[in-house]
Amino acid sequence: MQKKVAVILSGCGVYDGSEIHEAVITLLRLDQRGAHAQCFAPNIPQFHVVDHLTGEVSGETRNVLTESARIARGEVKDVRQLHAAEFDALIIPGGFGAAKNLSDFAVAGAACCVQHDVLLAARAFVEAGKPIGMMCIAPALAAQIFGNQVTCTIGSDPDTAAAINQMGATHEDCLVGDIVEDQARKLVTTPAYMLAQSISEAAGGIYKLVDRIIEMTQHDD
């Protein structure tokens, strides 16, 4: 039976939304593995809009769901429509949108909160015992989604790792092409562009993450 995987996006663009390479590689690998992917995003204003040519914050206002539709080619739904019972697994790519739109980690650090609709959707997968994959900065949300002592990685950045540990998770250093798995909680994480210096480096770990998530869904059959 074809596996169904939900993918939560956070906009479009590394500095203010989903990291496009990470999102596209995730969707590509899911398709290569024969899984059906459905994208979701919160229907909220972006934290801010960044000009990706200059790196400067612009005066524009944009919507996270609308911007995520750029990556999903229009096939994206409001995260409030995400029901864990309809899917086998959940994957959350990174990009600063995970820390600005899916949460306020970029501003609040260890005192951050996960966006309400995203938190409810993700926790439903945890409660159902279904696997979740998170990459790049997205594992900063893990403690609030899974609770204390969940093991995850963002690579090796000491400040981010310290904040993750302060929130109650356990950070484990990881090379760019590897994954960290919390077997008890069915969480798989990889550094992606927290460490990657090229799209090929990012793809190595993301492929491993997606492959492992698919394997875990098969174990549940």
Contact yes or no for 138/102 (Cβ under 8 A): yes
Site of tokens 């696997």: 131
Q: Who's near 110: CB < 8 A, 6+ residues apart? A: 163, 164, 166, 167
Distances 171 to 70, 78, 103, 158, 211 between C-alpha atoms, Å: 32, 31, 19, 10, 22
Reported as half-sphere exposure (CB side, CA atoms, 13 A), residue 69 has a value of 9
Distances 136 to 22, 97, 101 between C-alpha atoms, Å: 9, 11, 15
Is 136 considered catalytic here? Answer: yes
Catalytic residue of the set 39, 112, 136, 174: 136
64/122 Cα distance (integer angstroms): 17
* Residues annotated catalytic, as ranges: 136
